[in-house]
Structures are given as structure tokens and as C-alpha cells.
Copies of this chain bind each other. A is one copy, B any other.
């Protein structure tokens, strides 16, 4: 261990921060199917989306031609606070596994929001500020995205209203506290501040709230308020564009070390983390320069890629958003109470869905919760850092790949994304320690009930 030929942590200099985001759509032979307006079933336009999202972000959402999009200087200034994030050679985990594989991970949990979400939050806040907006709205479940947006908005002096699912608001008061400390207004949803909220409260519909309702309230306020727009932290193409900063840094750091990944592994919920991490490596693969393998890891309890259908579906359970063609379990699929809240989404980023459909993402792998926490425990005892449950899905697959390399004697280079820390996920660790953690795999009947909510669109494939 004392003879590490390369450092444990590789930090790029701040002068090596990427200057441009990468937009993989410009390199895809087959673009994802167009997003459809839910009323007209026609491809959405800038004009359709502008009332909801800020204009530059709408343009990025629909941008199929620009490979590189400049990172604005104020965003790079903010990035200097916590980026470039470290690329870590997992020497201590390698030793624990006794594997010939060389394992690297890109750690995004070193900022106060606790995950990679901040990378897109600050970009979205910047474009809003530049447009002259004064206010943003969003929703949050467990609170990581809301925290990231709070940090971003206080930096640009923007008002932020966060609609927080009421059950989380009450059960996780400290997440609310962090957002408030960064100046955000946090509102338990459903609330009296919107028409939809008042209706749900009056009619006693889902009084504990849901992400779907919180989104509806946040959008209603954004659309109805002068100088205000709505922001979202995953699934969207614009988010994958911003998150490419993860992969661009990882590729630059690996190049410095004379390394290149044989396999790139990311957990996949909405797709923002995997899409970001793999960006430059996918560019290499699409151009035929290199041939890294890509593995998307999802919870067995919410297996959109491994057991879902590739079909047009609503992005929300309320069936009010546009329709996207993606791997989906059906917008009405109800995932079990898995501890990796960030991976509990019925669909998958349209970009990642298309890449998987076309075979550019080699493998989707579903893993069970208890095996994920076994990997998390092994990881933290070896490498120090307590990982988020979401990230631990990628750890599980990385360990399995490293053990397979041990079996075969291969000196494989493995890169995975450690998207966040687990400091706010200790209830899950407690259940794991106490042996009360349960696994849940949906039955075929469960899946059929979800698939039944995928809309039937005659003439559209």
C-alpha cells in the first residue's frame, strides 16, 4: 500500500475544469424519439416549454446538433468551490477484494448537498438569472435536489420555493432546515398555496403528498408568477448535458494517469448520474475510437431497463407532462419502499433508453437491496466514505466485476460513479445492521398492472 505508483486521489486543477458541457445527442446515430405534447401528440417546441422552463434550458432540451455547449463563467466560478471532484483509485477496496482489477471511482458527495445534483442546479440557476428571472420553483422528496437548488439560488440571489412531499417534510425536518439555512422557502405539499393543493386538501386526496403532486404545485406557481420558472433535477436532456462535467473530469484525470476504463458503471434512476459519467467515454465509443463497456445498475424493486418496455409514456404519475419514449414500468407503477429513493422512478432518461435500445449501453443489471448494502458496508470499511444507497448499486456491480476479474485473472480497469454520501440515509443502514432490511422484487402481475398505465397511442411507436 505504501508503494502506490499513482496517487489515491487525483484532483485536476481548477484551471483544468471543463470549459464545455458535452451533448451526446449530437453524436448519436439514432436520436431518441421526439418528446410529444400530451394534448396534440406533436413534438414539443420551444414555445410549448418556455412558460415552464427558462429559455436557454428549453433550447438545450431540444438541442440535437451542438456537441459542445460552453459552461458559463459564473457556473465555472461556482464549480471551483467543490470541483474538480476527486477521481479515486480504490486501493483499499482492491486489497480487501484481492483483485487484479484496478478500480476507480469519481466521488460527487463532497459538497453540502451531498450528491452530484448540484452540478445541474447551479447551471439552471445561472440561466434563470441571466434571463432576468427572479424566482424558481421545484419539488423535492428526500431533499437532496432541494438542497442543491437552495445552494444555487442563494448564490445567484434568486428566490426559491421548494414543494416538499409532506410526509418527508414531517419525517425529515432537518432536510428542511438545511434548505432554509440556504435561504429557500420550503412548503409542505399538498399546500394551500396552489389550486391543485387546495383541491387535494379540501377533498382529502393523498394528504401526505407525493412527488407528482409536488411537481404539479411547483409548476402551477412557476407558470402563474411573473419572472418565475420551474426546475427539475433528473431525466431531462438538459440535466444530462450539465452532468457531463462528471465524465469529462473523470476522463481528463484518467488520461493523466495513463488509464482508460474497460468498463464504466453507474447507478440508474432517472439517468442523470450515469449519463454524466459515461459522456466522454460514450463519445469515444460512438466515434469508434475506443470500446468501453457500459453497465447501468438499477434496483430489482424498480427495474425499468431490465424488465420495462420501450414505449411512449408520461414522465409523471399525474399524466400531465409531455410523453417520452423510454424504458418504462408504466407511469402508474408503484415501486416498493426501497431506501434508494433517488432510483425509484418508473421511467428512464430518453437518451439512455435509446442508447440501451441500440446496444451502446451493453448491460442493465438489477440488484437487490440487501446485496447493495452488503457492498456498501464492505466499501465503507475499506475506503472510509459512507456511500449513499443509490451509489451503492454501482458499488455492488463494481465489486462483482472486480471479483470476476479475480476469477479470470484479468487486469481490468473499472470506473464507477460514487454519486453521493449516505449521511442522511442512516435509517437504512440501521435496518441493515439489525437484519430487518427486506428485498422486494415485483411479480409479473405487479409489472402488468404498471404496464396497463402506459397510454395507447394509435399510429405512434
Contacts and interface: CB of A to CB of B under 8 A. Distances in A.
Interface of A: 1-2, 4, 7-9, 11, 13-15, 73, 76-77, 80-82, 92, 110-112, 151, 154-155, 173-174, 177-178, 180-183, 377, 380-381, 383-386, 421, 423-424, 426-427, 429-430, 432-433
Contacts of A385: 111-112
B433 A181 contact: yes
Contact of A380 (B11, B112, B383, B429): B112
Contacts of A14: 4, 7-9
Closest 8 interchain pairs by CB?
A174-B426, A177-B430, A8-B80, A81-B384, A177-B426, A112-B386, A7-B14, A1-B77
A7 B17 CA distance: 12
B377 A181 contact: yes
A433 B7 CA distance: 42
B384 A181 contact: no
Contact of A183 (B80, B173, B381): B381
Given A7-B15, A82-B384, A177-B433, 10 more contacts: A2-B76, A4-B80, A8-B80, A9-B11, A81-B383, A81-B384, A110-B110, A173-B426, A173-B430, A181-B381
A432 to B, nearest CB: 8
Contacts of A424: 423
A429 B173 CA distance: 11
A80 B380 CA distance: 15
Contacts of A9: 11, 14, 80
27 contacts: A1-B77, A2-B76, A2-B77, A4-B14, A4-B80, A7-B13, A7-B14, A7-B80, A8-B80, A9-B14, A11-B11, A81-B92, A82-B384, A112-B421, A151-B384, A155-B381, A174-B426, A174-B430, A177-B429, A177-B433, A178-B386, A178-B426, A181-B380, A181-B381, A181-B432, A181-B433, A182-B380
A182 B382 CA distance: 9
Contacts of A426: 173-174, 177-178
Contacts of A4: 14, 80
Contacts of A383: 81
A104 B354 CA distance: 47
A14 to B, nearest CB: 5
What is the total number of copies of this protein in its complex? 2
| Residue of A7, A8, A154, A432 with most partner-chain B CB within 10 A | A8
Nearest to A110: B110
A381 B154 contact: yes
A54 to B, nearest CB: 22
A2 B72 CA distance: 11
A174 B384 contact: no
Contacts of A384: 81-82, 111-112, 151
Contacts of A177: 426, 429-430, 433
Contacts of A112: 380, 384-386, 421, 423
A433 to B, nearest CB: 5
Nearest to A78: B384
A87 to B, nearest CB: 13
A385 B424 CA distance: 16
A113 to B, nearest CB: 9
Nearest to A174: B426
Contacts of A183: 381
A429 B81 contact: no
B173 A73 contact: no
Contacts of A181: 377, 380-381, 386, 429, 432-433
B8 A381 contact: no
B8 A81 contact: yes
A197 B385 CA distance: 34
Given A82-B384, A110-B110, A73 B11 contact: no
Contact of A180 (B174, B421, B433): B433
A157 to B, nearest CB: 10
Contacts of A111: 384-385
A133 B136 CA distance: 58
A19 B77 CA distance: 34
A24 to B, nearest CB: 28
Nearest to A118: B384
Contacts of A429: 177-178, 181
A234 B73 CA distance: 44
